Amino acid sequence: MRPFGSYEHKNGKITAMKKTAIIILRNQKHEVKAGSTILSALQKLKILPESIICVRDGELVTEDIILKEGDIIKLVSVISGG
């Protein structure tokens, strides 16, 4: 059985979909490539790892974990001003 979301119909053909994960920071969703680390995704998004902590499925995770297809990583901003 084909995993849901991994293939799409395009011009009458079934083609593999790009495998993605989602990174959310302050209600903004960013689609990133699965298969690379969170750190690499953060670098592409120009987000400093020093300014956030990463949560996956309610659990705190380090930035070196490899994103799997369908992962949703919530970034918690840690900077408070004033």
Which residues sit at the interface with other proteins, rule CB under 8 A? Answer: 48-53, 55, 59-64, 76-82
CB 77 → other proteins: shortest distance, Å?
8
Return the ∠ at Cα 50 (arms to 53 and 58), rounded to 5°.
5
- Shorter beta-carbon distance to other proteins: residue 32 or 42: 42
| Contact predicate 16/81, CB 8 Å | no
DSSP-derived secondary structure letter, 18: P
**34 vs 65, which CB is nearer to other proteins?**
65
Shortest distance, CB of residue 55 to other proteins, whole angstroms?
A: 7
Nearest approach, Cβ of 27 to other proteins (angstroms)?
11
For the beta carbon of residue 47, count every other beta carbon within 10 angstroms: 17
| Tokens matching residue 43 | 């670098």
Residue 14 or 66 having the CB closest to other proteins: 66
